Amino acid sequence: MARILSILVGLFFTVALAWSFGKGAYTQITEPPALTAEHEFHLHPKKVHFASDGAFGKFDRQQLQRGFQVYKEVCSACHSLSHVAFRDLAQLGYSEAEVKAIAAGFSVPGTDPNTGEATMRPGTPTDYFPKPFANDIAARAANNNAVPPDLSLMTKARHNGPAYVYSLLTGFTEQPAELLKEFPEAKTPSGLHYNPYFANLNLAMAPPLTADGQVEYGDGTKPTVDQMAKDVSAFLIWTAEPKLEKRKQTGWAVLGFLLFATILGYMSYRNIWAGKKH
């Protein structure tokens, strides 16, 4: 009896699942969802290559330093790097004195040793990059009611993150006339900016990189908008995964060990079972 009951219960759920699937498929065919501006005009990230791409990729330290400069002079006014300490910049090739100088150029929360009151003090290498706003309310007030996201893990938090960041920075443009004609209700609201690489096409962030030469590179690289966007994207790859090179090196060592173990196992098999008959 119990077996028959369990079969009937299983049959019921199977039929219910098949019915719901069939109904959903029928509805999708007979009543397809209406197209939206986001569906029609949202673009996938541009194709862009970084030195760290691929199984043998390595960071270009010079590019990372340029990217940090772009972050410091342009992006840090709104975006934080809360998971990155100043001392981590030594991995980019900065000397101890340079790291101390960079840290001292930022003000971080501290405590007055005489009064115990909260105060601001120059940063030290052990400090983390400070937040540009005291709280979310202040951040929203300065950014059209939007809180600028922390950039520490941005290239890991978005699909195809490095290309997404690069595309977003270079993708600001006027709304296409075709979009306004087909979806007049999708006109970019006042205070927002059209960018086809953003999910809903409009974002509160104004174009941060507006002109060539906005940042002056010390290594002679021409600071075009495209170059600056690529450099800061490369820097954010590093902030999201500073041990990327070590991971790849370890991966190759593990693959080498597995290959050796596979060959050794096969040779052992041949040696032990070569004369055995099944």
Q: What integer pLDDT is reported at residue 25 of this predicted model?
A: 74
Domain-embedded: residue 33: no
Domain count, the chain: 1
Boundaries of domain holding 180? 42-84+129-246
Give pLDDT tens digits for 61-102: 999 999 999 999 999 999 999 999 999 999 999 999 999 999
Domain-embedded: residue 114: no
Q: What integer pLDDT is reported at residue 52 of this predicted model?
A: 95
Percent of the chain with pLDDT over 90: 70
Domain-embedded: residue 117: no
Domain-embedded: residue 166: yes
Q: What integer pLDDT is reported at residue 239 of this predicted model?
A: 97
Query: Could you say which residues of the chain have pLDDT below 70?
Result: 26, 28, 31-35, 274-278
Q: What integer pLDDT is reported at residue 117 of this predicted model?
A: 81
Q: What integer pLDDT is reported at residue 34 of this predicted model?
A: 67
CATH number at residue 227: 1.10.760.10
Domain-embedded: residue 217: yes
Domain-embedded: residue 90: no
Question: Which residue, 134, 164, 168, is CA-closest to 240?
Answer: 164
Q: What integer pLDDT is reported at residue 17 of this predicted model?
A: 85
Domain-embedded: residue 150: yes
Q: What integer pLDDT is reported at residue 220 of this predicted model?
A: 92
Domain-embedded: residue 148: yes
